Amino acid sequence: MTMPVRCDAQPFAGPLASRLREPREGLCLYWLGQAGFLIRGAGLTLLIDAYLSDSLAEKYRGKPLPHRRMMPAPIAVQDLPPIDLVLCSHAHTDHMDPGTLQPLLALQPQARVVAPRAKRAEAMARGGVTDDRVLAIEAGESLFPLSGLTLRALRAAHETLERDEDGLHLFLGYGMSVAGVTVFHSGDSIPFPGQIADVQALGADLALLPVNGRSPALAAQRVPGNFLLGEAIALTEAAAIPTMIAHHFDMFDFNTLPRAEIEAAAAKSDLPIQLLPASTGMEYRLAP
Interval 140-151: pLDDT, tens: 999 999 999 999
Domain contains 250: yes
Q: What is the pLDDT of residue 287?
A: 80
Domain contains 52: yes
Interval 167-219: pLDDT, tens: 999 999 999 999 899 999 999 999 999 999 999 999 999 999 999 999 999 99
Q: What is the pLDDT of residue 1?
A: 46
Q: What is the CATH number of the domain that holds 218?
A: 3.60.15.10
Which residues of the chain, if any, have pLDDT below 70?
1-3
What's the pTM?
0.97
Report the domain count for the chain: 1
Domain contains 191: yes
Domain contains 125: yes
∠ Cα 123 147 101 (to 5°): 20
Domain contains 218: yes
Domain contains 1: no
Q: What is the pLDDT of residue 2?
A: 60
- The whole domain housing 90 covers 6-287
